Amino acid sequence: AQAIFAEYAPGSPSNTSAHFPTITVCCGPGNNGGDGLVAARHLKHFGFHVDRVVYPKQGATPFYENLVKQLRSLNIQIEVEVPPALTPQQQQ
């Protein structure tokens, strides 16, 4: 989250709403998934528009449940299925 903020801080010349209207964070299982949830929270607090977190394999511990609760309290949508627009297209 800090690296993204350093390069694309809201209001900076490299970040205009026309170029970066929303951020979608994709999280896997385990600790990396937790890192993604925390990054989404930080990005929201840094002023970015985080519209959703794609989190198909959610952790079942209170730690992960609390992170999801925090994101929902920030009006960040949690999706448990990967949207078709984010899946690799099949070659014909």
Mean predicted lDDT score pLDDT of the chain: 84
- Summarize the confidence of residues 14-32 as an average pLDDT: 76
33-56: buried (b, 16+ CB within 10 Å) or exposed (e) per residue? bbebbbbbbebbeeebebebbbbe
**What pLDDT sits at residue 87?**
74
- Whether 17 shows a pLDDT value over 60: the answer reads no
26 confidence band (pLDDT: 50, 70, 90): very high
In degrees and rounded to multiples of 5, residue 4 shows phi and psi of: -65, -45
For the record, the structure tokens of 35 come out as: 């890192």
